[in-house]
Chains A and B, each alone.
Chain A
Amino acid sequence: MKKIASLFAALVLGAGVQFAAFAQIVAPDALIKSVTDDVIAIVRQDKAIQSGDTRKAVDLVETKVLPYFDFGHMTRLAVGKDWRQANADQKAVLTHEFKNLLVRTYSNALTQYRNQQIDFKPLKSKPEDTDVLVRTEVRQPGAKAVQIDYNLEKQGDNWKVYDVMVAGVSLVTNYRDSFAQEVRAGGIDGLIKSLKDKNKQLETTVSAKK
């Protein structure tokens, strides 16, 4: 009897562990929806963000959004074929600076949110897919709906965003021509310097506005 009981306990335990592991894998579309809903709910209630408090918007993005983005992959995509020339240190700095640029720019965009409605399109993917596209649409009265799509890839048990497309335009690969130009002119270090300068300039305009 004891044997059976312990076997049963082990079974339950095993099933429990398995279930827990299973439950941790959030579907990519569910992930995008929950993050979007979270962020929108906060922005709706936060008068400071609505009136252009970029610092607060950056904090929000850093805590709520960043964990679900793979900036290494994004930077690699933006740099394109020149990525191979960069050494490990340069890659780390590039990723850091590009992340700052994106976070700053789009946190600012968040302060422009005014009750737009976001629709989530049904996900078209197979369970075994490791690379999916989650489609959403932002609707507002009097203007054409804007399509915002997220490319996600599965990393272990988690899904990470590696590209965002607005109206069919990748916000990541849109940098490729500029970045290639910078690398041609001043090498990888030239690109790093331009990114740093740009971030500094954004920093000063943000603090000047306040």
Chain B
Amino acid sequence: MKNKKPEPKVVLRGVASLLLAVGLTACAGPGGHPKDPLEPLNRATYSFNEKADSYVVRPLAEVYDYAPLPVKVGVGNFFGNLADVWIGVNNLLQGKFVDGLSDGGRFLVNSTVGIFGVFDIATELGLEKHDEDLGQTLGRWGVGDGPYLVLPLLGSSNLRDTVGLAGDLHVDPVLSFESVSARNSATGLRFVNRRSQLLGADTTAEQAALDKYEYMRSFYIQYRKSQIYDGRPPREKDPDDEADVDETTPASPAKKENQE
């Protein structure tokens, strides 16, 4: 009788093998991107996000964009200031002590002289704003990025950065505001403010891409790599830059191919 209930272990194994099967079938297609085994699922989430963006988020951001520049700058600075503490912690976790201390300094200066962070005095004083998160820290520590993932509403990510994001959100000061209404409106405002900064860039991506899903995926993969190395990723020799190889070895028989 007691054997009727499925054991959690069995369920877990079932889920695992299902995931594996999904992964394998996705891999099996000849055109699959090696970093994107869950492409069918990701594409579904992506088209949901695109719809949500064009019907709700982007219109909101467009309205918000009518606000005077100093207001928008103040809003961006306010949330940026709240983020600086966690950015500093991540810099320390990555062993960048000077940057980490500077982030702490930024928070102290901007929270006081900068009136709750609305004015970014610290940048004027030469304390540069940094951009760190737990996903980048994990990447610095050598954690691989794992499969590409598209998260509902939040967009491009990967397994490592999703884990990182869960950590980021866990300590997010905005999400720990006491009052529910303050928390919700602050979260909404932060989201719309960030989206409004991408107005223009989104049109460019739209125009540039043959397939926007693929374009955004490539962009995300390169962008995160660059971020992990603070914008200075080690430059690797491009194996597909054929002509370069041929030009440096003029005696090579392959040379003829590139004569145009």
Contacts and interface: CB of A to CB of B under 8 A. Distances in A.
B145 to A, nearest CB: 15
Which of A72, A167, A185: most chain B CB closer than 10 A? Answer: A167
Contact of B203 (A84, A108, A167, A175): A108
B204 A106 contact: yes
Given A92-B260, A181-B31, A104 B223 contact: no
B214 A178 contact: yes
A181 B238 contact: no
Contacts of A198: 210
A135 to B, nearest CB: 9
B218 interface: yes
Contact size range, B: 35 or more
Nearest to B197: A143
Main secondary structure of the interface of A (DSSP, over half): helix
B207 A108 contact: yes
A61 interface: no
A109 interface: yes
B207 A167 contact: no
B222 A73 contact: no
Given A143-B76, A174-B222, A181 B211 contact: yes
Contact of A168 (B77, B208, B231): B231
Interface stretch (A11-19, A28-36, A38-46, A75-83): A75-83
What 5 A-B pairs are tightest by C-beta distance, nearest first? A168-B226, A142-B73, A80-B240, A169-B222, A105-B208
17 contacts: A77-B238, A77-B241, A81-B239, A81-B242, A83-B240, A92-B260, A108-B203, A168-B229, A169-B226, A173-B222, A174-B215, A175-B218, A177-B33, A178-B218, A181-B31, A185-B31, A202-B207
Interface of A: 72-73, 76-77, 80-81, 83-84, 88, 91-92, 101-102, 104-106, 108-109, 112, 133, 141-144, 147, 167-171, 173-179, 181-182, 184-185, 194-195, 198, 202
Given A81-B239, A141-B69, A195-B210, 17 more contacts: A88-B260, A92-B260, A104-B207, A105-B207, A105-B208, A133-B235, A142-B74, A168-B223, A168-B233, A169-B226, A170-B222, A174-B215, A175-B218, A177-B214, A177-B217, A178-B210, A181-B31
